[in-house]
Structure 1
């Protein structure tokens, strides 16, 4: 654990760290596969994210600490090789007990990033399923946090950006070539939704990157390696991904 997280750890209750470890060991297969040293860092980062995020829930729905830890762990998983610890724009997370819709719309969502309210919305059953079934390239928390990171990265000054600009641009160039193939049904490693646009392809790519890393690498090694370069980690190396 680096100096920064060692210092933060001093201000966290031992009971909170133990609770976090137990929850993540149960829910997050990425965390469960890490070395003890990496787990310690992951726990600190998860609690750091949780403590700097405003969690809200639909009236009458009990949003437990366990649920908050599970959701927070998705963000830490994505950013484990990066330096961003929290969201600065989308630091309010609203959790619903079911899928939801917006007023005047018949479209129901399991998750979305609302740029008008600067809020991330989740359906808890969808979040839960994403972690219970950890190898199907479907994880709504990873998906929506991927959107948050891209949007926030674009709004930062050049030197403060989460992603290396050259690496991200190289990723975009490769990804742009995949979109027509996905739309034609000729790029099977990603689901059809990834062919919507670059933003959605980034999110679906990250879902596959974390949930089916070996299959992704076998199918598209160059694109996999570029994704690993952007995120500064390789989840094929379960114990030491970064």
Structure 2
């Protein structure tokens, strides 16, 4: 199933694939999955979603989420009461839940090179939030590495807003949180293009995540 759905996993060496499977099953076991009534959430769907988290954290020591322990999957885009906006995914800090639209998740894994993957995007938010709330000994990221990333990223936001930094889509100009998520989508889906366009920013991102997906078999 992982070979079918996740191109990052499919490219890994045998040893790394074994480690990836173990980490995926661990995430699956420690996470509560739910879905809209009447919508069948299969084991395959859960594995696909879990694999996005493992992909992001494969170079890190973070195996599971400690705050966002529930993932809720819907059969289509959804909205919140009183809001007209439709969502394909969000991280709800009140309910401590990750919400995902399955069609958006599916599209993110079927089209592997467009810099769009809603599961990677929302898990990126989870990691930033959990890193901010963690103690010194439970940080997801190295502070020095993340601060170096933030310093560079802060300079990119006005350029993205002005349409002068085109490796990322316009939404990356919203704020640092959104730029981090979009950077990770691009990092995993378009690593070679990202590196060619912005080698320093790419290397800074690779340092934060302790991996380089350009090296398919041995990214870390």
How far off its partner does 1:40 sit?
0.2
- Relative contact order, CA 8 A, sep 6+: which one is greater? 2
Unmatched segments (≥5 aa) in structure 1: 1-22
Specify the alignment match of 2:76 in structure 1: 98
Question: Within the alignment, does 1:24 sit opposite 2:2 as a pair?
Answer: yes
Specify the alignment match of 2:126 in structure 1: 148
**Pairing 1:1-242 to 2, within 5 Å after superposition:** 23-242=1-220
Unmatched segments (≥5 aa) in structure 2: none
Please tell me the root mean square deviation across aligned C-alpha atoms, in Å: 0.4
Separation in 2 of the partners of 1:81 and 1:91?
Answer: 21
How far off its partner does 1:49 sit?
0.1
CA deviations on 1:23-49 (whole Å, 9 max, x unpaired) are 100000000000010000000000000
How far off its partner does 1:106 sit?
1.0
Separation in 2 of the partners of 1:129 and 1:173?
Answer: 32
> What SS class does the counterpart of residue 34 from structure 2 fall into?
strand
How far off its partner does 1:159 sit?
2.4
- Divergent runs of 4+, >6 A: none
CA deviations on 1:173-227 (whole Å, 9 max, x unpaired) are 0000000000000000000000000000000000000000000000000000000
Specify the alignment match of 1:15 in structure 2: none
> What SS class does the counterpart of residue 113 from structure 1 fall into?
strand
CA deviations on 1:123-180 (whole Å, 9 max, x unpaired) are 0000000000000000000000000000000101112201000000000000000000
> What SS class does the counterpart of residue 190 from structure 1 fall into?
coil
Separation in 2 of the partners of 1:112 and 1:160?
Answer: 24
TM-score by length of 2: 1.00
Separation in 2 of the partners of 1:31 and 1:198?
Answer: 28
How far off its partner does 1:59 sit?
0.2
Larger Rg: 1
CA deviations on 1:56-75 (whole Å, 9 max, x unpaired) are 00000000000000000000
